[in-house]
Chain A
Amino acid sequence: MFTQTLLTGLAIGGIYALMAVGYSLVFSILNFSNFAYGSIIMLGAYIGYYAMVRMGMPIGLAIAVSIVGSGLLCWLNERLAYAPLRKRKASSLFFMISAMGTSIFLENLVYATIGARFYNFPELFAKSNLEFRGISIGVLDVFAMVFSFVAIYGLNLFLQKSRTGIAIRAASYDIEVCSLNGVNIAALIGLVFGLAGALAGISGMFLGMKYIVYPTMGWITNKAYIAAVIGGLGSLPGAVVGGVLLGVLETFVSAYVSSVVRDVFSFSLLVLLLMVMPTGLFGRFLEEKV
């Protein structure tokens, strides 16, 4: 039972981590909460669904389409809703409102056009389980977990090793100094949003397969924000730890207490943690420069 719960928790934690990393990536560079991110994840699920079910693509191709589609959407989101504010050097509050607006717009646009119907992915391997010494885990869960961690590892490699990745990390410390050093900030920010969108595509796809596809998948994408805050906003290792931690703890609460108190639990965990560590587990130094 314990190992079983732990594995299930890790599987969902992997997806949480993926979402939290994408969201935290944007935060680390522009310093605001991109609340539109949840909607991009939701759209990623729809794109994946259409590619796979309506157009009959194989799963690998569908994931690729979802990644590209979400990446483009996320990039477009930045160009349309944030770039004008960035040029004006608006305060992060305005960015946040714009992000909220985008999220509300996208979510309800899907409602109004596609409708509130639930869509199910074909049960490719949703029902098939791997059995091992009495522990059973869904093939999908294993696949999602592996894929999530591979994607995160790949992103980390890119940020650590490539020139562009180093430029992104530099920009997350000081965007102005970075631009003075000849980095094209607009292109860099576009790339960051594209990358975040790509992660959204993957996580949307897995969430859609694990649960169902519908407009307000928000209840689960909100977990991305909570996980990122637990880890410390803007910290990518923090986002991974926060996501996995949240996934595992939630699964344990569902299994041993009740699934009803699960969401109340994640919220209480968040508040308690912030009381003790106001910047999350791996948050950056937050003493304001005076």
Chain B
Amino acid sequence: MNSLAMAGKPTEVLELRGVTKRFGGITACKDLTFHIREGQIMGLIGPNGAGKTTAFNLITGVYGVTEGSIIYNDQIINGKRPDQIVRIGIARTFQNIRLFKNLSVLDNVCIAVDCHETYLLGAACLRLGNVRKREKAIQEQAMEYLAAVGLEDRASVRANSMPYGYQRKLEIARALALKPKLLLLDEPAAGMNPEESLELAKLIRILHERFRLTTLLIEHHMDVVMSLCEKIYVMNFGVKLAEGSAEEIQSDPEVLRAYLGEGYKRAEHP
């Protein structure tokens, strides 16, 4: 395939086709169908319990899908293990921060850098060949990712001793270190005030461009979502509520009802 053809037809990095997940009798996600084009930032929004994080868990293989298929770069990925999915280029952060708490900030990122490292166990145990050199390279790379999110001077600090906002940034650095093509961010601005969250939005934009990512973002801060996302997919009670550009979503009556309740009109026009 030549590059002209590529440019003519934007490639879909990720596509969900009728994805459904049931836990016993509860349907967490029903018939999710959407796709993300290369280089897009797409927002996944909806009230709490709408099934957004479940969608992330399905994409990253933490849960198996009940029905439907998830396609990444023309390859069906549902049924693969999470670690296999990471290796083909999908990384994520967690809503409820999941750092390796007792390890240093640097080690947290090193574990992610290791993902594409190849030296073998035997060589490692006997310190053969270039293991020492490889280890140094891993640390240097990890430092670069820390620098990308502005945490380079905290490398030796224990991860859970940092303030909340920094822990979220470390999660992003760790995800970037996996060299993903598709990055899934699960409420990266949770618990931040409006200023901090807009600053984070800027950082996400910069990283998105610098690392040539395709980004899928779950977020409750609407200013972050509206400033970043070209396309937004709204979920409620596990099903799609609306899909479209930021403007379309902001004026969609269904969305307003889900977010503000039935009485939103009265509230707007007292």
Contacts and interface: CB of A to CB of B under 8 A. Distances in A.
Chains A and B directly touch (beta carbon < 8 Å): yes
Interface of A: 285, 287-288, 290
B229 to A, nearest CB: 23
A200 to B, nearest CB: 33
Interface of B: 23-24, 53, 57, 62-63, 94, 98
A287 B63 CA distance: 7
Given A290-B57, A290-B62, A290-B98, 4 more contacts: A285-B23, A287-B23, A287-B62, A290-B94
Nearest to B98: A290
A190 B197 CA distance: 46
The prevalent SS among residues of B at the interface is loop
B24 A285 contact: yes
Contacts of A288: 62
Contacts of B98: 290
11 contacts: A285-B23, A285-B24, A287-B23, A287-B62, A287-B63, A288-B62, A290-B53, A290-B57, A290-B62, A290-B94, A290-B98
A288 B62 CA distance: 8
Nearest to A287: B63
A187 B200 CA distance: 46
B85 to A, nearest CB: 14
Please give me the 8 A-B residue pairs with the lowest Cβ-Cβ distance, nearest first: A290-B62, A290-B57, A287-B63, A290-B94, A290-B53, A285-B23, A285-B24, A288-B62
A290 B96 CA distance: 8
A290 B98 CA distance: 9
B200 to A, nearest CB: 22
A288 B60 CA distance: 14
B86 to A, nearest CB: 14
A287 B94 CA distance: 16
Contacts of B62: 287-288, 290
A287 B23 CA distance: 10
